[in-house]
Amino acid sequence: MRRTSLFTTICHVVEVPSENPYAFPAAWLKGVAVHHDRRRFRHLVVTLGPRNNIHMELERRGVDAFALGSLSRLSYPRALVRLVKLLRHEQVDIVQTHLFDPSILGLVSGRVARVDAVLVTRHHSDFTTLFDKPLHRWLDRRQAVQADLVIAASEGVRRSMVELEHVPFEHIIVHHYGFEFEDLRPTLTTHERTGLRKTMGVDGDGPLLAVVARLSRDKGHRYLLEAIPRVRNEWPGLRVVFVGIGPLSDELVTLAAELGLSETVSFLGVRGDAHRIIEASDLVVHPSLTEAFCNVIIEAMALERPLVATDVSGASEQIDAGITGHLVPPGDPLALSAAILKILSDPEAAARMASEARRRVVQRFSFPRMMRIYEETYVSVLDNPERR
């Protein structure tokens, strides 16, 4: 039975692996804090790990944020007990989980605390199949079917869950992410753009390609590296910068050297000015092999940069192919190089594409619009016992 309360209380159980203000879920949670309807809903955030600056930022925005203090999975039993007590004390109506470990703890604690509904938010697509992780896929399915409802980040994610995990279609609803477009807009002056490009080795009018993603196998960086020599043949002044770190850092640096790209490619690591690097580039490339709903795609379009991305999972829901960006098959260096060359060969058409991309993305993916859709889902779940 639903609790009698002025508010519907939603508790987000999540992990914040990075304090990068642009990374998921930090930016998403901040958007929820700003844009939820405070007359009807109360949001709490609980992280598995210790407190960090994200908790303080959420609290400044009027959202209570708690930390369970777990430093490893060995401490999860204690964290589970603490979470159950917290859910009961705060009279939580809905638990909404995000990412793998938080979903396990959130599901169990939500059932023990007898909250009205537990929603699992699925933020990944088909990587468990692509990289042969059958146990992870089985656990993903168990989480999905044990939840009252699954919120998928894209239609591509829902399709993967139905086809690969055999989760019932009607058990999944799709909600795209929302974005703060006042913060995501071009701001560099011509002088600032030129100066930033010089720091990345661009001399004169040579094109600059930006890649912003974790350096891991699923992001497909090696296929872009294999595509670069063909592009450089036509654009000798080409510069390519990779922003991010990850387990493939050393391997990709070695591959770049083997391909003779050491003077063309730079690995910049983590950068707090990643958005400005995107804005200073001539083209953003996202060569991922799997993606649920890619933030970098939205960011590139919002910053009015021409874009080439792979046609995986939710990408076609973000990009109108040939209108707001180019989509190519994953793992295909030849297709990547052809799309890059097409954009570089016609800068006027690329500029029109980038301008239209910003117009459409602001219209479709604003955070206030996304938040109203989420709130409709909360009400629907609580008002429909058959969902639970």
Question: Over the stretch 343-376, which tens digit does the pLDDT of each residue have?
Answer: 999 999 999 999 999 999 999 999 999 999 999 9
Q: Could you tell me which of 132, 173, 94, 178 has the C-alpha nearest to residue 366?
A: 178
CA distance 374 to 43: 12
Q: Please tell me the predicted confidence (pLDDT) of residue 17.
A: 62
Tell me how crowded residue 58 is: count the other CB atoms within 10 A of its CB: 23
> Please, are residues 7 and 42 in contact by the beta-carbon 8 Å criterion?
yes
* For residues 234-242, average pLDDT: 95
CA distances (Å), 87 to each of 81, 161, 207, 293, 375, in order?
10, 29, 53, 30, 20
Q: Please tell me the predicted confidence (pLDDT) of residue 5.
A: 58
CA distance 316 to 69: 39
* For residues 47-56, average pLDDT: 91
Query: What is the percent of the chain where pLDDT is above 70?
Result: 95
- Quick check: do 8-178+366-387 and 190-364 share a fold? yes
Q: Please tell me the predicted confidence (pLDDT) of residue 22.
A: 52
Using 50, 70 and 90 to split pLDDT, how confident is the model at 134? confident
Q: pLDDT for 194-228, tens place per residue?
A: 999 999 988 777 899 999 999 999 999 999 999 99
Q: Regarding the domain with residue range 8-178+366-387, which homologous superfamily does it belong to in the CATH classification?
A: Glycogen Phosphorylase B; (3.40.50.2000)
Instruction: Give the sheet arrangement for strand 41-47, strand by strand.
Output: 64-67, 41-47, 8-14, 94-98, 117-122, 149-152, 172-174
* Domain parsing of the chain, residue ranges: 8-178+366-387, 190-364
Q: Could you tell me which of 26, 29, 11 has the C-alpha nearest to residue 86?
A: 11
The H-assigned helical ranges of the chain are 26-35, 53-60, 76-89, 100-113, 127-130, 134-146, 155-164, 190-199, 221-234, 249-258, 274-280, 295-302, 315-318, 333-345, 347-364, 367-383
0.85 cut: is pTM over it? yes
Q: Given a cut of 90, is residue 52 above it in pLDDT?
A: no
In DSSP terms, 212 is beta-bridged to: 243
Identify the DSSP state of 1: -
Sequence-distant (≥ 6) Cβ neighbours of residue 271 within 8 angstroms: 243, 277
Rounded to the nearest integer, the mean pLDDT of the chain is 92
- Fold of the domain spanning 190-364: Rossmann fold (3.40.50)
Q: Given a cut of 70, is residue 18 above it in pLDDT?
A: no
Query: What is the percent of the chain where pLDDT is above 90?
Result: 83
Identify the DSSP state of 127: H
Q: Given a cut of 60, is residue 101 above it in pLDDT?
A: yes
Q: Please tell me the predicted confidence (pLDDT) of residue 26.
A: 81
Q: Given a cut of 60, is residue 3 above it in pLDDT?
A: no
Using 50, 70 and 90 to split pLDDT, how confident is the model at 124? confident
Q: Please tell me the predicted confidence (pLDDT) of residue 210.
A: 97
* For residues 3-29, average pLDDT: 75
Q: Given a cut of 90, is residue 159 above it in pLDDT?
A: yes
Q: Please tell me the predicted confidence (pLDDT) of residue 1.
A: 41
> Please, are residues 354 and 304 in contact by the beta-carbon 8 Å criterion?
yes
Q: Given a cut of 80, is residue 34 above it in pLDDT?
A: yes
* For residues 275-284, average pLDDT: 96
